[in-house]
Amino acid sequence: MLIPVPGELVWAWPWCALALPLPLLVRLFLPPRSVQGGRALRVPDLSRFGIDGKESSTPGLDLLSVLLLLVMWCCLVAAAARPQALGKPLTVPQEVRDLLLAIDISPSMETADIVVGGRRTTRIAAVREVARVFVEGRGGDRVGLLLFGSRAYVQTPLTTDHATVQHFIDEADTHLAGDRTAIGDAIGLSVKRLRDRPEQSRVLILLTDGRNSAGSLSPIDAAGLAADNNIRIHTIGIGGDRGSLFGRLRGGEEIDEVTLTEVAELTGGLYFRARNRSDLAAIYAEIDQLEPVEDTSETWRPVKELQAWPLAVALLASLLWAIRRNAFGGGL
């Protein structure tokens, strides 16, 4: 149990202070040490031994020696009481979620059909902006980033270092993973990364603007694996309305809403459709409500042990006392 004292210093074992008066009690209640006489060799002349024949006396402790002994004892007692320095209070979530973002970076994500502030911007630019804000608000959750095109790969493993995840979201480029879309492989790789995490906290948010056209695993089969491993998938289809000027993807492909909806339903998630930046922001806000950040009311303070400092002072005082005793003589 820690008992706080003024400032940031606490004592883990404050009851050790009861030992402070022990030397005084020993002095008061125990008889002084006596020198016992023994057999002696009697000689007529001590001068041959370099002794003048006068009895020598041992002087008592002077004030400085007493002070050094007092400092030594107080420092030893202080070290035994385990002084500790408390750091600033840190808020830690009692539980965290493992949330993986899977973002399509096929070339079709460069289609400029997302309206932001009255101007059209590319799908990938809108995703970068909204995803950064979403990650920033995830509190103590572990967040990871998976990018996919013809191939899927983990850009950032699950981590509480949200600044790093945001950095790699900004660096996501549409020419890094091929020209096609491997939705099934992206889900399969996500399952591999999430299946060993604690249950009830495994969430995948998958965003794409097309249909599965690459990879060895179909989205439905991959969703079945996710469901078997208690991984919830929220899917997002991004792009303009079907049949509009900007509604078709490069290569003539359109968003496979049927498959994305089935993937979400198989795993207990939801499917969302984002036609503009406002839709995308609202979707991420709704996912925030579906996957709320856990209570962060629990706090703790880092503790640094300080007993090395009084021990160092006690050692220095003992060295000074020993030097003085050898140089000038003395009692103890």
Give, as one character, the DSSP assignment of residue 159. Answer: E
Task: Note the pTM of the prediction, 2 decimals.
Answer: 0.59
% residues pLDDT > 90 (the chain): 33
Cα–Cα distance for residue pair 249/123, rounded to 1 Å:
11
Q: Which structure tokens are listed for 244?
A: 């509009």
Q: Which tens digit of pLDDT belongs to each residue from 162-208? A: 999 999 999 888 878 888 899 999 999 999 999 888 777 789 999 99
Region 207-226 average pLDDT: 90
pLDDT at 52 over 80: no
Pairing label, strands 114-116, 119-121: antiparallel
246 confidence band (pLDDT: 50, 70, 90): very low
- φ/ψ of residue 94, rounded to 5: -70, -35
Contacts within 8 Å (CB) and 24+ apart, 107-110: 107/149, 107/174, 107/175, 107/179, 107/250, 108/181, 108/209, 108/210, 108/249, 108/250, 108/251, 108/253, 109/174, 109/209, 110/174
Task: Note the CATH architecture for domain 98-290.
Answer: 3-Layer(aba) Sandwich (3.40)
In a 3-state reduction of DSSP, which class is residue 298? Answer: coil
